[in-house]
Amino acid sequence: MKVSWHVTVCLLVLGLGIPAMAQPVVIPRDEIVWAGGYWTLPGNWNPLGWGTAWGTFFMYEPLFAWVHDKVVGIIGESIAWVDPWTIEIKIRDAARWSDGKPITAEDVIYTFDYLYPRHWKNLGYDARRERSEALSEKVLRIYLKKEFPYSRVVWGALTGGTLILPKHIWTEIEAVHGFPYEWVYNNDWRPIKPEWRVASGMYFPTAATPEYEILMRNEEWWGKAVWGLPQPKYLGHRFFATNYAANVAFERGDLDWSGFYYPRIWEIATKPAGPFVNTWTMRKPPYFAHSSVVEIVFNHNIYPLNEPWLHHAIAYALNYRDISIVSVSGYVEQALVTRISPQSAEGAKLTDWDIVKSHQPYYDPEKAIAILEEYCFRHGGFWYTKDAPAVWRGTPVEDMLPDVPGRNVRLGPWTMIVPYGWTDSMMQTVLFQRDIGEIGIKVEPVFLEFGTYTAKFMAMDFQLMHFCMGGGGYDATFHGNYSWNYTGTPGQWTNFSGWYHPDFPGEPPSAQEFVALLDQLDITAEGTPEEKVLVSKLQEILAKEMPTLPVFYNAYWYSFSQMYWHNWPTLENPYLQPLAPWAVANPGAMQILVRSLKKGAQPIPADEYPWVPAF
Amino acid sequence: MWRRLVRDGQFLMALGVVGLIVGVGVLGPRFVRNPHAFVWLPNQPPSRQFLLGTDPFGRDVLARLVVGIRTSLLVGVYAGLIGVALGVTVGLVSGYMKGVAGETLNLLTNVVMVFPVLPVLIILAAIFERRSLVLVGTIIGVVSWPWAARCIRAQVLSLREREFVRLAKISGDRHVKIAFLEIMPYMLAYIVMVFVLMLGGAIGAEAGISMIGLGPTDAVSLGNLLFWAMVHEATRVGHWWTFLPPGLVLTLLTVFSLIMHKRMDQIFNPRLRTW
Amino acid sequence: MSPTPFWLFLRPEAKTVNDAAAEKVKVRGVLHGGVAFFAHPFVRFLVSRGTFYLLAIVAGFTMTFFIPRLMPGNPVDMMLRPAQPGLPGLAGGASPAVGRAADFARIRAALEEFFGLDKPLHQQYLVFWQRLFRGDLGPSFAFSMQPVAEIVGRALLFTLVLVVPVLLLSFYLGNYIGASAAISQRGVSSLVYYGSLFFAQMPFYWFAMILSFLLALKAGLFPFYGWHSPELLPNWSLSFLMNVAWHYALPFLALLIGSIGTWTVGMWSMMLYEMRSDYILYCQQLGFRKRTLKKYAKRNAMLPQYTGFNLVLSGLIGQTVITEVVFGWPGLGSLGYRAILSRDYPLLMGTFLVTVVVVLLGNFLMDILYGLIDPRIRTGYVERG
């Protein structure tokens, strides 16, 4: 097909001419803070939806934020217990929506009492609340049910990350869309109805593609009268398909606020962004704060996996330092036997160090074998228990060596499930296999598709499990974390080990005691001596029984580059706790961080703060 | 015909390379260290003690490469056998039987063949809990049999009209017997050729799904090695010894088995012979 | 606009007996023409191939329907996961504030009802097809519940922009190189042959990573990730388009080099085969110039190459998965990878569906093209199947 060259030239000219007339839209690099690490891609900015986009947490604001262990006001000005069953909250006078209307107590009540529970959030709060009352435009009181004095759950919900929504807009949205689920995942920021784009926050979404999300500063933000406008004009979040790409971007200075895993971070010193990169601990090991606990979970429905002496034996068999170095560049530290990280506010205050001193395990394979020898003996290459109960949780326990006295149950071989693709978890499981094998128990890692992995632990269909989704890090509370991990129906996204089982009371009795103590803690006021006693008792039970084996505190992936912005929180500048871009459970703190950033490059002097390798 | 093959220089060279790699895969594991053992410091570049250095766990990369070759070959063999078994059966029947049976089978072959393979592999691999070698090999075989079926069918179509088949039909032999006893021996060479092709393809396919993390979960294979290299960002940090050797071996294996296949094709099919 | 019934045009305005007869002949002529139309071998070929592909699409969609229901792990369970760092799930935090088991059961029941998971299988299947016809592929869990159809549509565009030029250019270049190499000297010829074989068989992901490492990281000649630099917002300006082109270069190159090899190898063999055929030898005896002979041989050698389009297209779709992931090109491959990682079943299924349709449609187009080119098909000489 011969196309005349005249036509070709005309097409070329047209083709190049039209684009040439449009102006490129460039965002100056020094006006934007680029973050990375949040997983959910932009699609809806609806805080009631499932999997909200990152920008939502800068678009709307919560009442309060947690800064270390203090409650700091965002929309709210103050919160206090009036009596054991009443909380009073005052909202800031200056707080206003973007359409000019003030943020009122009605908005808060509407959000907490109607919107959130309607969409399956804050249900614990909902169960404990009797009613709420607006005393004036800016003051409200919440009345609790008689059984829940000083309830931590309620306090936690009110001071937590609930984003306040405007009643006058959302009643309208619901009237139009009716049944909640249909609009719960519809984006209220898409051009459906511009009048509905009302929020109170500092940044509003401007552009979004599956590769990034960009927010632009709200110049009319009410908070400018209180704190001033944040310095970054834009806030952006980038999504990378591979860690490799994210880390290259970080090395080059394309990323300011990183929530990614960077192996051997001291090697970044030679890269372009090296002089500007820093971590929470100012370039010294372990570089990162504590995130959730990495633990080995024992399925308590299977004998002898429920036996505490087995848990302790394995605890002494693990070479914690070596596993940390090999699997995560030495970033992770061994977890306390009481589970909660001492970096968390409650952990710092309430950790019973006597219990830790007397019960904390360490790497000592000989001690592990000594523990085993007390309860077991070797036979044919395996350990067998000297004795065992006849029935455990309704299942008869089989005697595997009938001609030897006592009921003998073999230890292992067992399987340990772990999600395939979570490489540090996979590496750790392989290393567990190595170390537990050294004391004579065979453990086989089983790498499962994540869907299969969750299906299995929800059905309690496993023997051992590598688990790192149980919280316990720098923001953990004793009541919250212990409840999550050790109470409730086993497997259903809670109580993963099945140590406490509602169908088998008294198997073991320590679990029942533990749950009762937790319920008592819920209604014990904070800061009282009773609280300390209760928490110590809880820790003692946990240390003795060890229903799950806390191995490490996962590293909290918070690192940043000062190539364009400085004044990030660090150990030496701890105006905030470490915050990764995915810390969306505490959006107020993230907002405080962004409005504290100052424009301009500030390299960190290498002679004062050299990079110290972890190994 | 076979004699000519054995004397052909190119074929022998290709066979040599493939044979060497296969030999390393079959015999090598006996002479190298344990690929699962943690023998040294992690991330060490090649040295005299560890010819290909150590991986981020501190395991011997050369040992893992050798065992990986064996694993990949095993997967390839399983896939090839299944693919050929299915393909020959379907191809024979659809080629030999005229009418509805033959056409339906042919339709089935074409439908399965025209499917994009990788998404199917991904989904099949994601279903199963633990993916053993045999499972992965089976999945790949099940997805790639249409190729074999098509090749076989073409051959059968042409052989069907030959005299010896008519003779067998006249003498009253049953169709199945004719198909398998008369026609197949003529195609033995062709079947071997198809097997070689499928072997190469299967090894490549296994590496492909391993790279996305959907390969065998309990074995070291070449694709697995590449997966871990990618995950540990080997290119970014410059650990070429974990990254280049598996890819190189894969390429050599697939390229030279393809050359073998092509030479066999040319020798068995004289019209294609170029020199 | 309602269609006008065709017989209206045939209604005769019979004035005379002759006119009526003439009308009858006209009607019969049209009907005859209609039948003749369908009897034409090319049309028959189109219809048979079309039906075949339709069947294949239906089979593919049905498989897409069944597979997630066979997979372990209920998608609703995925959604109910508490919001943990790095995982999608119910925003609201991991805490007992979310409630006890009874609440979870209520939530699960409500979600299952919403997604239709509580209905019997055949009803779900019907709903599946209904939704497909409406273009509704469900919400994506990884994309904050944005409709899958939108996300996949955008990704499809990116993949086509990458794959179609690669297909066309590699075909042209590969055939050219293959033909030239075949008739050149033995040394060069075999070098080209083995070289192309090497590139054709090389694991494309490995090659993509090496290219990325050498040209992007080390030499810094090309960007290493994304389809445009993040500071430039997408619009139709020249500098933005140039920026995209610069990002486009590496994935394009990676796919191109791998694909050329396939064509080269095929063309080389076919060319040599043709050069030995009788008519070429005859023409050679007659004293034709080598260039003319090459032209004739090439035309005939190309014919079977067209059948390779199907294979190469399917292969390319597979190859783009890793290439797109490595270079951050937001096409179907990248999307599928992300869907696998986050276990986003609606997105995974949507991607698969669109991939199947693209490949099958592409194959159908190739078949039509081949039918147009090969005169034997047009005249019904060869029975394809």
Residues of C in contact with A46 (CB under 8 A): 144
Residue in A420, A446, A452 nearest the CB of B213: A420
What are chain A's partners, defined as 3 or more CB pairs within 8 angstroms? B, C
Residue in A39, A45, A120 nearest the CB of C88: A39
Residue in A243, A420, A427 nearest the CB of B57: A427
Which tens digits make up the pLDDT trace of B174-190?
766 666 676 777 777 77
The pLDDT of residue C202 is 81
The pLDDT of residue C115 is 63
ipTM: 0.75
How near does any CA of chain B get to the CA of C64, in Å?
9
**In this predicted model, which residue has the larger pLDDT, A69 or A564?**
A564
How near does any CA of chain A get to the CA of B86, in Å?
29
pLDDT band at A72 (very low <50, low <70, confident <90, very high): very high
Q: Which residues neighbour A436 within 8 Å (Cβ) at sequence distance 6 or greater?
A: A314, A317, A318, A443
**In this predicted model, which residue has the larger pLDDT, C36 or A498?**
A498
**In this predicted model, which residue has the larger pLDDT, C153 or C131?**
C153
How near does any CA of chain A get to the CA of C323, in Å?
12
Which tens digits make up the pLDDT trace of B125-165?
666 666 778 888 888 888 888 878 877 887 777 777 666 66
DSSP string, C302-356: HHHHHHHHHHHHHHHHHHHHHHHHHHT--SHHHHHHHHHHTT-HHHHHHHHHHHH
CB atoms C56 and B116 under 8 Å: no
Chain position carrying tokens 């036997």 = A337
CB atoms B130 and A263 under 8 Å: no
CB atoms A492 and C101 under 8 Å: yes
What chain B residue is nearest to A430 in terms of C-alpha separation? B36
What chain C residue is nearest to A158 in terms of C-alpha separation? C97
What chain C residue is nearest to A151 in terms of C-alpha separation? C97
DSSP A297: E
The pLDDT of residue C384 is 46
The pLDDT of residue C249 is 92
CB atoms C226 and A211 under 8 Å: yes
CB atoms A448 and B233 under 8 Å: no
pLDDT band at C181 (very low <50, low <70, confident <90, very high): confident
What are chain C's partners, defined as 3 or more CB pairs within 8 angstroms? A, B
Q: Are C329 and B104 in contact (CB under 8 A)?
A: no
The pLDDT of residue C79 is 58
Q: Determine which of A77-86, C84-93, C349-358 has the lowest per-residue pLDDT on average.
A: C84-93
CB atoms C213 and B213 under 8 Å: no
Q: Is C348's Cβ below 8 Å from some Cβ in A?
A: no
The set of long-range contacts for B237-240, using a CB threshold of 8 Å and a minimum separation of 24, is B237/A263, B237/A264, B237/A267, B239/B43, B239/B45, B239/B53
Question: Helix, strand, or coil here: A543?
Answer: helix
Count of pairs with CB atoms under 8 A, one residue in A, one in B? 45
The pLDDT of residue C97 is 34
Which tens digits make up the pLDDT trace of C216-248?
878 888 888 888 888 888 878 888 888 999 999
Which tens digits make up the pLDDT trace of A111-150?
999 888 777 677 778 888 899 999 999 999 999 999 888 8
DSSP string, C193-218: HHHHHHHHHS-HHHHHHHHIIIIIII
Residue in B103, B116, B214 nearest the CB of C355: B116
**In this predicted model, which residue has the larger pLDDT, B57 or A561?**
A561
CB atoms A430 and B57 under 8 Å: yes
CB atoms B250 and C206 under 8 Å: yes
The pLDDT of residue C385 is 40
Which tens digits make up the pLDDT trace of A420-454?
767 788 889 989 998 999 999 999 888 877 767 88
Which tens digits make up the pLDDT trace of A154-166?
888 888 888 999 9
Question: Helix, strand, or coil here: A179?
Answer: coil
Q: Which residues neighbour B108 within 8 Å (Cβ) at sequence distance 6 or greater?
A: B90
Candidates B203, B210, B211, B252: best to mutate against C (most CBs of C within 10 A) is B211
Which tens digits make up the pLDDT trace of C317-366?
777 877 888 888 999 888 888 777 766 777 888 888 888 888 888 888 87
Residues of A in contact with C96 (CB under 8 A): 124, 153, 480, 483-484, 487-488, 494
How near does any CA of chain C get to the CA of A228, in Å?
26
> Looking at the predicted structure, is the pLDDT value of residue C83 above 50?
no
CB atoms C146 and A492 under 8 Å: no
> Looking at the predicted structure, is the pLDDT value of residue C86 above 50?
no
Residues of A in contact with C111 (CB under 8 A): 181
Chain position carrying tokens 């089983």 = A446
> Looking at the predicted structure, is the pLDDT value of residue B68 above 60?
yes
The pLDDT of residue C88 is 34
CB atoms B251 and C336 under 8 Å: no
- The closest alpha carbon to A307, from A507, A451, A495, belongs to A507
Residues of B in contact with C52 (CB under 8 A): 107, 110-111
Q: Is A247's Cβ below 8 Å from some Cβ in B?
A: yes
What chain B residue is nearest to A454 in terms of C-alpha separation? B129
Q: In b/e form, how buried is each residue of A409-446, taking b as 16+ CB within 10 angstroms?
A: bbbbebbbbbbbbbbbbbbbbbbbbbbbeebbbebebb
Q: What percent of chain A has pLDDT over 70?
A: 93
pLDDT band at A615 (very low <50, low <70, confident <90, very high): confident
Where do the DSSP E strands lie in A459-580? Answer: 464-467, 548-556, 559-561, 565-566
> Looking at the predicted structure, is the pLDDT value of residue C377 above 70?
no
Residues of B in contact with A248 (CB under 8 A): 236
Residue in A244, A446, A448 nearest the CB of B233: A244
Which tens digits make up the pLDDT trace of B77-129?
999 999 888 888 888 888 777 777 777 887 777 777 767 666 666 666 666 66
CB atoms C201 and B254 under 8 Å: yes
Q: Which residues neighbour C379 within 8 Å (Cβ) at sequence distance 6 or greater?
A: C41
CB atoms A247 and B231 under 8 Å: no
- Of the spans A16-30, A116-130, A335-349, which averages the highest pLDDT? A335-349
What chain A residue is nearest to C89 in terms of C-alpha separation? A51
From chain A residues 407-426, the ones with a CB under 8 A of any chain B CB are 420-421, 423
Work out the angle between the directed axes of helices B184-211 and B133-159 (0-180°, nearest 10): 150
CB atoms A244 and B236 under 8 Å: yes
Q: What percent of chain A has pLDDT over 90?
A: 47
Tell me the C-alpha to C-alpha distance, in Å, between residue B119 and each of B58, C53, C127.
Answer: 34, 18, 23
Which tens digits make up the pLDDT trace of C95-150?
333 344 455 566 667 667 666 677 787 888 888 888 888 887 777 766 766 778 88
CB atoms A458 and C97 under 8 Å: no
- Of the spans A307-321, B5-19, C42-56, which averages the highest pLDDT? A307-321
Residues of C in contact with A212 (CB under 8 A): 230
Where do the DSSP E strands lie in A420-531? Answer: 443-448, 464-467
Which tens digits make up the pLDDT trace of A554-592?
988 899 999 999 999 999 999 998 888 988 878 999 999
Tell me the C-alpha to C-alpha distance, in Å, between residue B209 and each of B273, C63, C210.
Answer: 35, 20, 19
Chain position carrying tokens 């072997």 = B199
Q: How far apart, in whole angstroms, are the C-alpha atoms of residue A389 and residue B234?
A: 52
- The closest alpha carbon to B225, from C216, C206, A416, belongs to C206
Q: What percent of chain B has pLDDT over 70?
A: 83
Q: Is A56 exposed, middle or buried (0-12, 13-18, 19+ CB in 10 A)?
A: buried
> Looking at the predicted structure, is the pLDDT value of residue C35 above 80?
no
Candidates C197, C206, C338: best to mutate against B (most CBs of B within 10 A) is C206
Q: Are A492 and A458 in contact (CB under 8 A)?
A: yes
Residue in B115, B129, B207 nearest the CB of C356: B115
Residues of B in contact with C273 (CB under 8 A): 271-272, 274
How near does any CA of chain B get to the CA of C234, in Å?
28
Which tens digits make up the pLDDT trace of A213-264?
899 999 999 999 999 999 999 999 998 877 888 898 999 899 999 988 888 8
CB atoms C385 and B204 under 8 Å: no
Candidates C70, C231, C349: best to mutate against A (most CBs of A within 10 A) is C231
Question: What does R_g of chain B's alpha carbons equal in angstroms?
Answer: 22
The pLDDT of residue A94 is 93
CB atoms B38 and A244 under 8 Å: no
> Looking at the predicted structure, is the pLDDT value of residue C29 above 70?
no
Phi, psi of C176 (to 5 degrees): -65, -50
How near does any CA of chain A get to the CA of B220, in Å?
13
**In this predicted model, which residue has the larger pLDDT, A322 or C232?**
A322
Q: In the predicted model, what is the mean pLDDT of chain A?
A: 87
How near does any CA of chain A get to the CA of B245, in Å?
20
Residues of A in contact with B243 (CB under 8 A): none
> Looking at the predicted structure, is the pLDDT value of residue A3 above 80?
no
CB atoms C321 and B213 under 8 Å: no
**In this predicted model, which residue has the larger pLDDT, C105 or C369?**
C369
How near does any CA of chain C get to the CA of A41, in Å?
5
Q: Is A448's Cβ below 8 Å from some Cβ in B?
A: yes
